[in-house]
Chain A
Amino acid sequence: MEKTHPYSSAEAIAVELQGIVRMFGGRTVIDGISLTIPRGELFGLLGPSGSGKTTLIKLMTGIDRPDAGSVSMLGEPMPQLKMLQVFGYMAQSDALYNELTGKQNLEFFGALFGLTGQLLKNRIHAAASLVDLTDHLNKQTAAYSGGMKRRLSLAIALLHEPRLLVLDEPTVGIDPVLRQSIWKELSALSRQGITIIVTTHVMDEAEKCDRLGLIRDGKLIAADTPEAIMQKAGCSTIEEAFIALGSGGGGEK
């Protein structure tokens, strides 16, 4: 969307977290996490429910503000309003207006990102065909199945061609065939240079990521390629590695 020039060194980093801490009512949810995600990486955040994945994502995107530490995205200090234009965000809940049709939902969020006219039409068409919803766009969202809602939600996140895509458990409630096609799409987007940060607790999905961050009790217990993590833990699967590293590293406070 901006002029294409070779990325400066700062811009080669998509997201950088330095010692961030977030507390809710005296409880430490994120406990001193530092993490650097380079551009174009497909980064997976893996961790049990309640480990702080969603909070970490909200801190990365500037929706929430850390109590300590600093966050920067594409070289810009966060939180910053203009950066909201740069990334696409898909939350755990589908967050759709059920009274509207799929198309009306897309039109609404497209307009919020400043898309108008033919460009908006083209983007809606592109995003809808990506998630295989073109035939259902004129249906009221309330009549969508769970999987269709999830796909529409993903289409909305892709609408404004974000340079960074942040997806909070994108494949929950989606059947295996579609799950595979979504992951294929994510890999393709990642190859185009789009940075993707995705949370999951499905282990076979985790293996598809370039790099994994394992989170437990608000601490980052490992951040490496799936192979390296398995090697380090001396296990043959991510699942075993996660359990091994989790019990050894981050104990309860």
Chain B
Amino acid sequence: MRIRALSIRIIRQFLRDKRTLALLFLAPLLILSLMKLVFDGQSVSPAIGMVDIPAVFTEKFEHLNAAITVYESPDSAHAALQAGELDAILQLSGGKPELMLEGSDPSINRAVLLLLQTAMQTGSGSAAPAITYLHGGPDMAAFDSFGPVLIGFFSFFFVFLLAGVSFLRERTSGTLERLLATPIKRYEIVIGYLAGFGIFTLLQASLIAWFSVDVLGLYMAGSIGYMLLINLLLSLTALTLGTLLSSFASSEFQIIQFIPLVIVPQAFFSGLFNLDAMNPWLQKLSSIMPLYYGADAMQGIMIRGESWGDFQIDVYVLIGFSLLFALLNVLALKKHRSM
């Protein structure tokens, strides 16, 4: 009897909370669809630049589904590799083949090497090419490649939760109402939150950066200062987004519900998985995801040792996201006080 009463109560509560109900049934479908899109897309064809390579050989590569571009000079090919347009360059130097890999993504390296191997086998026995790497090296593990993305992801994730829950508590405990009965301006609340939490996110970013580079020995080609900057910006974006979305939640539980809706899709689009395999129009979705920019900059700094000019766009976009969310926050507070 009591068991029945308890289970009926739970069913009634669930039926009241439509959002939880929707999440329970729809979120798994959303995430499964995302996974299908990410893992079941078109096959990736490595982009290879050819310099002074006999046409027979080039055709063979094309036959193997590689995207081949022929360059007149090694310099222009090298520039394209640097710019990330190519995954590798194959060139003849002194009669010997030389392969230079872009190197950032171990899975692409493997794909190119496999392709080369296949092409060699079917061809007449020419000498095995000398292999060099633009970034990283043969020892670069998969973790070195997606580590930078994970750093960004976890800062984002935890700051998002923390900010969301604490702003929600401000509302449910009535302190927000009291706060708004003082002459504080709405933007002052938002900036105060940013500053207060900002100190902790700065500490968090520093700790994570130090730990992953010095303790875990993550591959690090660039400046740790830049890495800190990106991590901090990512945390600020998470902070402003978390406080904004907490306006649309009425309990801690509902904050948790934002994870599959806001956090998980970002993880899929952040570069943990190769987006090249995805439908091009779906790839465009990544442009609205803050984590994509943060992860892009982090990978650039840590693996390719990029300097300011290479990732500054990411910085501006992250600042833009933070400003946008902060502004929406100020507007959302209007719901609680008319002025």
Contacts and interface: CB of A to CB of B under 8 A. Distances in A.
A89 B338 contact: no
A61 B178 contact: no
B185 interface: yes
B178 A89 contact: yes
A85 interface: yes
A18 interface: no
Contacts of B214: none
Interface string B305-339: 00000000000000000000000000000001111
A12 interface: no
B178 A156 contact: yes
A54 B212 CA distance: 53
A61 B183 CA distance: 12
A95 B169 CA distance: 10
B182 interface: yes
A112 B130 CA distance: 69
B337 A109 contact: no
A88 B171 CA distance: 19
Contact of B339 (A81, A95, A114): A81
Interface string B176-198: 01111111110000000000000
B72 to A, nearest CB: 68
Interface in B193-222: none
A228 interface: no
A112 B184 contact: yes
B175 interface: yes
A80 interface: yes
B54 interface: no
B178 A84 contact: no
Given A82-B183, A84-B183, A89-B181, A62 B175 contact: no
A113 B183 CA distance: 7
B152 to A, nearest CB: 29
A94 B173 CA distance: 8
Contacts of A91: 174, 177-178, 181
Interface in A102-137: 109, 112-114
A223 to B, nearest CB: 24
Given A62-B338, A63-B338, A81-B339, A93 B183 contact: no
B338 A64 contact: yes
A64 B182 CA distance: 14
Say whether chain A's binding surface is mostly helix, strand, loop, or mixed: loop
A203 B136 CA distance: 79
A84 B173 CA distance: 20
Given A63-B177, A97-B175, A112 B183 contact: yes
Given A63-B337, A95-B178, A109-B178, A85 B183 contact: yes
Residue in A85, A93, A156 whose Cβ sees the most chain B Cβ within 10 Å: A93
A96 interface: yes
* Range for the number of chain A residues in contact with chain B: 20 to 34
B244 to A, nearest CB: 21
A63 B181 contact: yes
Contacts of B177: 63, 91, 93, 95
A79 interface: yes
B197 to A, nearest CB: 15
Given A79-B339, A81-B339, A61 B175 contact: no
A65 interface: yes
Nearest to B175: A95
B174 to A, nearest CB: 3
A113 to B, nearest CB: 6
A109 B178 CA distance: 9
A113 B182 CA distance: 6
B173 A93 contact: yes
A238 to B, nearest CB: 29
Nearest to A59: B338
B170 to A, nearest CB: 9
A114 B182 CA distance: 10
A81 B173 contact: no
Contacts of A113: 182-183
A109 B179 CA distance: 8
B183 A109 contact: no
Interface in A52-104: 61-65, 79-82, 84-85, 89, 91-98
Contacts of B181: 61, 63, 84, 89, 91
Nearest to B192: A112
Contacts of B185: 81
A127 B28 CA distance: 54
Residue in A61, A62, A95 whose Cβ sees the most chain B Cβ within 10 Å: A95
Contacts of B180: 63
Contacts of A97: 173, 175
B241 to A, nearest CB: 24
A156 B174 CA distance: 14
Contacts of A81: 183, 185, 339
Interface in A124-153: none
Nearest to A82: B183
A98 B172 CA distance: 13
3 A-B pairs closest in CB distance: A93-B174, A95-B174, A65-B338
9 contacts: A63-B177, A63-B180, A63-B181, A63-B337, A84-B182, A94-B174, A97-B175, A113-B182, A113-B183
Given A79-B338, A93-B177, A112-B184, 5 more contacts: A84-B182, A89-B178, A94-B174, A97-B173, A112-B179
